[in-house]
């Protein structure tokens, strides 16, 4: 939907019934069922006490994740981020095709931390970021991570880690 709405001249027709919503954008018609229950409190999943701050250049980070994840298995797609003193080491291990490692300078001054994420989710988030720098707010390897786009203050992403 976001990509369809990128053009400033786009005309959108919105139709709503008790159970569905229909959006017509040019020749594309999108229909969705409306949620008929109580929506969960999304504020509860947004971490509030993540005290470790990681700053990355979006383009360099995205390219590094893409390079190391080429050897990951389609099932797991896990990439491990090892953080220590201004340095990030991205690692992927695949028993079938080997391993890949890449180092990246980052803004990180907290205690050393190793955390794993699904590479596809990292790439999906970095693909949405509009600024040159992103901030990851981390707690520990088992807790959700908060990602902020410095160029868009209203953009907020919550990313669940994986075991690696």
Residue-level pLDDT at 123: 95
Radius of gyration of the chain (CA): 19
pLDDT tens by residue, 10-56: 889 999 998 999 999 888 899 999 887 787 788 888 988 999 999 99
Q: Let me know the angle formed at the C-alpha of 90 by 99 and 78, rounded to the nearest 5 degrees.
A: 70
Residue ranges and CATH numbers for the domains of the chain are: 9-36 (no CATH), 51-159 (3.10.150.10)
Predicted TM-score (pTM) of this structure? 0.77
Three-state secondary structure call for residue 28: strand
pLDDT category, 5, cuts 50, 70, 90?
Answer: confident
Residue 2 in this model has a pLDDT that exceeds 90: no
End-to-end CA distance of the chain: 34
Could you read off the pLDDT of 63-95 as tens digits, one per residue? 999 999 988 767 668 999 999 999 999 999 888
Summary mean pLDDT of the chain: 91
CB pairs under 8 A, 24+ apart, for 4-7?
4/28
3-state secondary structure of 140: coil
Q: What is the pLDDT of residue 72?
A: 79
Dmax over CA atoms of the chain, in Å, equals: 55
How far is Cα 147 from Cα 61, in angstroms, rounded to an integer? 13
Strand pairing partners for 123? none
């Amino acid at each position: 939907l976001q990509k369809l709405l990128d053009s400033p001249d786009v005309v959108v027709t919105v139709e709503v019934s008790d159970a569905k919503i229909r959006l017509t954008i040019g020749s594309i018609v999108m229909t969705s069922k409306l949620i008929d229950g109580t929506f969960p409190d999304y504020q509860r999943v947004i971490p509030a006490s993540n005290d470790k701050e990681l700053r990355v250049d979006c383009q360099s980070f995205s390219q590094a994740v893409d390079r190391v994840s080429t050897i990951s298995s389609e099932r797991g797609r896990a990439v491990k981020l090892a953080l220590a003193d201004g340095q990030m080491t991205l690692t992927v291990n695949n028993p079938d095709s080997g391993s890949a490692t890449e180092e990246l300078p980052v803004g990180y001054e907290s205690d050393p931390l190793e955390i794993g994420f699904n590479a596809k989710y990292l790439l999906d988030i970095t693909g949405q970021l509009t600024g040159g720098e992103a901030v990851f707010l981390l707690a520990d390897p088992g807790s959700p991570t908060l990602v902020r786009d410095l160029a868009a203050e209203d953009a907020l992403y919550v990313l669940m880690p994986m075991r690696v």
